[in-house]
Amino acid sequence: METVKIAGLNVPVSKSGINPGSLGSDLVETDSTVRNLSNILYPLLEGKPVLLVGDAGVGKNALIYYINYKRRHPTARFSFNEDTLPEDLIGSYRILMDGRGFTWSDGPLTSAIRSGHSFVADEMNLCPPHIIKRFSTVYESAYLELIEGDSSRIYCGEGFNFIGTQNPAEGFEGRKPLPFDITRFFSVVFIDPHTPDEILYILKKLYPALSESLLQSCIRISLETENRVVVGKLGKGDLEKYHFNIRNLKKLCNRLLGLKADTSELQFREFWNFYVEPFRKKEDRDFQIELLLGESGLKVAPELPEPSFQVHKGFLYCNDKEIPIRDEDKAKRLLSEVPLPLKLREFSEKIFTAIQFQENVLIEYSEEQDPQILLPLFTEISGLPLETVSLCKGIHTSDIIGALKPIDGSKVDWVDGPLTRGIREGGNILITNLEAAGAELVEKLNMLTDDARSLTLPPEAGISEPIQLTEDSRIFALKLFRKSKSVATISRAFRNRFTSVLFPDLEDESTLTEIISFYLPGNSLILKMVNFHLKIRDLAKKERSVPPILCRIYSGFRIFSFGRIISCVMRMKKRDKPV
């Protein structure tokens, strides 16, 4: 029997003959990694179900991917959420296209049992326990009865493993630990986090071109930022859950290496983007800037060159960033259609940096702001198709992924939801109102937003393999600032999968003047309009006596829509049309 060494153990190589892909191939074995691997392998090789418990970013899924990469064994992973139903895992009947019969489609769990593959129940504790108990015979007695199908009993094939993952309830909204009457059938493995020395060892292996002193600075900043969040010194007033771990460090190192950030000033810029930018309050930012200045050796925050944009030979250049584009004329048109004062150019530069390094982008903004006008600049400039997924309270997983629906008279077939359609088209995906759907629904996107970059569809879709994002595809998400604890938000685990960029405050005199001048070039009313707006805003904030009509105008005011209305009015006047 062919074997391979994993964490000092001889592990049999899979007989499936299926290439498991490259996921997990970059895992670096440290002392804690070897310990975690050993704790997983002993019950796994005996065919016992395993439950991995650990904080976000400690690499629970990465450990399984690594084991299966080394032993050349396929992995089927399914992200659980509160909408998960038994048929999503086990399978269901599909109506034939001609409407004259039905055909059975295996779910991912059933398919893994038949094939003898590893099945990973990701975020298993997000699913209601009574749903999990439907397939309890799998982890109790190694078989599954297809009562939804032909009532046959299928036994777990050779090589099948059932692995669940669970984040701790603390700090993760919408989560509760699995009850004991479920976990007692599992070998529970608590995943140890990496020590600072181990993190340094991992980063040195992954990024040998970066100096050890720079990597040590990155690690100290990350660990201190996480500690400040945990003890309540940082981000407390934002009402958000923040988390900083090795995932942030990898993104940071990718940028430092890819942008050739070999000066303290450029390194400070990237430190800022990950460890200052996510926080809203000035005192939090000042607190973090002190930390960055101490690590970088600078006395004050550096003044960097203003961002500028140029389209040339199939690329959009933004200072030291370059984004491939398919249509230069379209890119130039998009750049010419929006006002770009300094604040918006700096904001755009941060977005384009994340795009270049294949990061998921989270744009956060307040109710008084409107980033919509700038979105085409980021989501469409590459020339890829765009699919928008609009979330709201009460929306279900099937609404965004897809379901069986009538398509032509009596015919019924699978119809892609907007998320699935966007993945199949190979373009960019924009998710709006991310906070509105609740933490439980968006966790369905776990696989899509981590290294797997894929989505498992329900059985009625007729395919068992996950659909994959293309290398060029990017995920953008919009989220309002949280103003009350009663308002839903995303978990810190899910937030950690995105690069957060805050939409800037544009209501200062110079920025307003530049924006309105873009729509009304040379108009003598510009300064009066800016002063009027700023005066009404200040009066409204001070709650002084303001005419009700002006309060209503201000409460519904958005600077971009305001500018567009003015531009439209002026065009109509030029055409001698009544307004």
Q: Write down the pLDDT at residue 544.
A: 53
Question: What are the pLDDT digits (tens) for 174-202?
Answer: 568 899 999 999 999 999 889 999 999 99
How far is 459 from 457, CA to CA, in rounded Å?
A: 7
Answer for the pair 329, 364: CB distance below 8 angstroms, yes or no. Answer: no
Closest CA to 490 of 243, 301, 165: 243
Higher-confidence position of 369 and 40 = 40
Question: Could you tell me if 461 and 372 lie in one domain?
Answer: yes
Task: Residue 324: count other Cβ atoms within 10 Å of its Cβ.
Answer: 13
Question: Could you tell me if 46 and 182 lie in one domain?
Answer: yes
Question: Is residue 289 included in any domain, yes or no?
Answer: yes
Q: Write down the pLDDT at residue 565.
A: 46
How far is 546 from 553, CA to CA, in rounded Å?
A: 11
**Any idea which of 45-54, 94-103, 331-340, 398-407 has the lowest mean pLDDT?**
94-103
Answer for the pair 92, 460: CB distance below 8 angstroms, yes or no. Answer: yes
Q: Write down the pLDDT at residue 521.
A: 85
Instruction: Please report the DSSP string for 343-371 in residue order.
Output: HHHHHHHHHHHHHHTT-EEEEEE-TT--G
Question: Is residue 232 included in any domain, yes or no?
Answer: yes
How far is 308 from 176, CA to CA, in rounded Å?
A: 48
Question: What are the pLDDT digits (tens) for 326-347?
Answer: 999 999 999 999 999 999 999 9
Question: Could you tell me if 370 and 518 lie in one domain?
Answer: no
Total of domains in the chain:
4
Question: Could you tell me if 183 and 255 lie in one domain?
Answer: no
DSSP code for 444:
G
The domain boundary, picked from 132, 157, 190, lies at: 190
Please check the confidence at residue 546 and state whether its pLDDT lies above 90. no
The domain boundary, picked from 135, 162, 190, lies at: 190
Q: Looking at residue 462, which CATH number applies to its domain?
A: 3.40.50.300
Which residue range is the domain that position 236 belongs to?
196-296
Question: Is residue 342 included in any domain, yes or no?
Answer: no
Question: Could you tell me if 181 and 251 lie in one domain?
Answer: no
Please check the confidence at residue 232 and state whether its pLDDT lies above 70. yes
How far is 70 from 66, CA to CA, in rounded Å?
A: 6
Q: Taking all residues of the chain, what is their mean pLDDT, rounded to a whole number?
A: 87
Question: What are the pLDDT digits (tens) for 475-514?
Answer: 999 999 988 888 878 888 889 999 999 999 988 899 989 9
Q: Write down the pLDDT at residue 241.
A: 87
Global confidence as pTM: 0.87
Average pLDDT over residues 399-415: 83
Q: Write down the pLDDT at residue 458.
A: 86
Helix, strand, coil percent content, the chain, rounded in steps of 5 = 45, 20, 40
How far is 154 from 152, CA to CA, in rounded Å?
A: 6
Q: Write down the pLDDT at residue 61.
A: 92
Question: Could you tell me if 38 and 130 lie in one domain?
Answer: yes
**Exposed e or buried b per residue across 61-91, where buried means at least 16 C-beta atoms within 10 angstroms of its C-beta:** bbbbbbbbbbbbbbbbbbbbbbbbbbbbbbb
Question: Could you tell me if 373 and 462 lie in one domain?
Answer: yes
In angstroms, the Cα distances linking 356 to 266, 324, 359, 361 are 16, 9, 8, 11
Q: Write down the pLDDT at residue 202.
A: 95
Q: Write down the pLDDT at residue 556.
A: 47
Question: Is residue 369 included in any domain, yes or no?
Answer: yes
Question: Could you tell me if 216 and 262 lie in one domain?
Answer: yes
Confidence category of residue 575, pLDDT binned at 50, 70, 90 = low
Please report, rounded to a whole number, the percentage of residues in the chain having pLDDT higher than 90: 60
Closest CA to 81 of 401, 299, 329, 379: 401
Question: Is residue 303 included in any domain, yes or no?
Answer: no
Question: Could you tell me if 365 and 413 lie in one domain?
Answer: yes
Question: Could you tell me if 68 and 133 lie in one domain?
Answer: yes
Question: Could you tell me if 248 and 276 lie in one domain?
Answer: yes
Question: Is residue 351 included in any domain, yes or no?
Answer: no
Question: Is residue 101 included in any domain, yes or no?
Answer: yes
Quick one: how far is CA 539 from the chain centroid?
A: 39
Question: Is residue 340 included in any domain, yes or no?
Answer: no
**Any idea which of 91-95, 116-120, 309-313, 348-352 has the lowest mean pLDDT?**
91-95
The domain boundary, picked from 190, 205, 226, lies at: 190
Please report, rounded to a whole number, the percentage of residues in the chain having pLDDT higher than 70: 90
Question: Could you tell me if 497 and 520 lie in one domain?
Answer: no
DSSP code for 338:
S
Confidence category of residue 579, pLDDT binned at 50, 70, 90 = very low
Average pLDDT over residues 414-429: 95
Confidence category of residue 93, pLDDT binned at 50, 70, 90 = confident
Average pLDDT over residues 90-104: 76
